[in-house]
Amino acid sequence: MSDQAEFEIIIVEDDPNDAELITRILRKHNLANKLVLLKDGADALDFLFGQGNFADKYDDGPKVILLDLKLPKVNGIEVLRKIKSDERTKKIPVVILTSSREDCDLKDAYDLGVNSYVTKPIKFDEFAKVVADLGMYWLLLNKSLTK
């Protein structure tokens, strides 16, 4: 709605190491030009709904949101619920990227209409491949309604 830079990919990740590694991997594949990094669930919601700290930074919506589950303030499942229950945001693809393999997390996420659920591989080389694949698929291959 403004002349703001358009964001293609939003990453919600509280672990600064994982956040930096994800950014680095995407950058190496030229997928990080329009990337925004948010460190907790509250920031994610403020950013998406153009409120609080991000009142003047409203954006039409990215091509994909990579969402961690274990987040401070507002957890990932809650963020997902808000995104999927609001007309303005419910069409944005959301990919859960988490260490959790718990069945209840999986079930909650799919119940709320998550678009994909990916667990972070333990080994860095596998992790790097997963992040690169996700970036290429959602930013280049997938056709989204939002942009």
Partner 1 sequence: MGSTAMTEHGQTLTESGNLRERLEASEKTQRAMMNILDDFDEERRNFQLIQKATLNLLEDVDAERQNSNEAQRALLNMLEDIEAERFKAEQANALLESANKELEAFSYSVSHDLRAPLRAISGFSQAVMEDYAPRLDDEGRRYLGLIQENAHRMGRLIDDLLAFSRLGRQQMIKSTIDMETMTKSVFEELAAQEPGRKIKIKFTAHASPPVYGDSSMIRQVLVNLLSNAIKFTRPRENAQIEFGYLPKLGDGAYYIKDNGVGFDMRYLNKLFGVFQRLHSVAEFEGTGVGLALVNRIIARHGGRVWAEGIVDQGATFYFTLPGSR
Please report, as ranges, the residues that interact with partner 1 according to CB under 8 A.
15, 17-18, 21, 24, 99-100, 120, 122-125, 127-128
CB 113 to partner 1: min, Å = 26
Element (H or E) spanning 41, and its range?
A: helix 41-49
CB 24 to partner 1: min, Å = 6
Q: Which is nearer to partner 1, 18 or 78 (CB)?
A: 18
d(CA 76, CA 25): 22
Q: Which is nearer to partner 1, 13 or 46 (CB)?
A: 13
Q: Which of 83, 78, 68 is nearest to 146 (CA)?
A: 83
Q: Which is nearer to partner 1, 17 or 87 (CB)?
A: 17
Contacts of 79 (CB under 8 A, 6+ apart): 12, 41, 44, 45, 67, 71
CB 101 to partner 1: min, Å = 9
